[in-house]
Amino acid sequence: MNLCWSLFKRFFIGMLIGSFLYVVTGVYINNSSYNISDRLIFLFASGLIGLLSVIFKSEKIGIVWEFIIHGVLSYIIVVALNLVITPYFDFWNPKIFTTFTFEFLVIYVIICTSSIVTFHRSTKEINDEITKRKQKMNQKNN
């Protein structure tokens, strides 16, 4: 049951991040051509990318490899998403391929950077709290 709940949370968080990106990019791009089924496919793909975050639970590989694996698999999902939603998407055109890949990398780096900063901030807060508790325990014992 814990595994199912964990996977559901990861899927949902992926959908939230995907929804945010959809809204942000919708400000710059006319999304009126997308119907409701395209938007649902987009949310589902975002959820799948969220499920990929289970890679970061592995302690057998380093964080750099985790980001590389997650990034490559996310890229594949995003390419597939674009090919499904926009069949006329000429992904193999060198200019489109380069632009698409560059935009993906920029977005991926921004999301990963914010995730790393959030993780380090929360880890620092937890460590500071543990240190304070240890100091209080030492003061009481003395």
Give the domain ranges of the chain: 2-141
Name the residue with tokens 């914010």: 114
Average pLDDT over residues 121-135: 87
Q: What is the pLDDT of residue 101?
A: 92
Which amino acid is it at 95?
A: K
Average pLDDT along the chain? 83
Name the residue with tokens 């051509």: 33
**Considering the chain, what percentage of its residues have pLDDT values greater than 70?**
90
Quick one: which of 79, 6, 12, 24 has its CA closest to 50?
Answer: 12
Q: What is the pLDDT of residue 142?
A: 64
Average pLDDT over residues 47-70: 86
Question: Which tens digit of pLDDT belongs to each residue from 79-88?
Answer: 888 888 877 7
d(CA 73, CA 48): 10
Average pLDDT over residues 2-20: 84
Residue 104 burial class via C-beta count within 10 angstroms: exposed 0-12, middle 13-18, buried 19 and up = middle
Question: Which tens digit of pLDDT belongs to each residue from 20-53?
Answer: 777 666 545 555 566 777 778 888 888 888 888 8
User: Residue 118 has which token pair?
Assistant: 């959030």
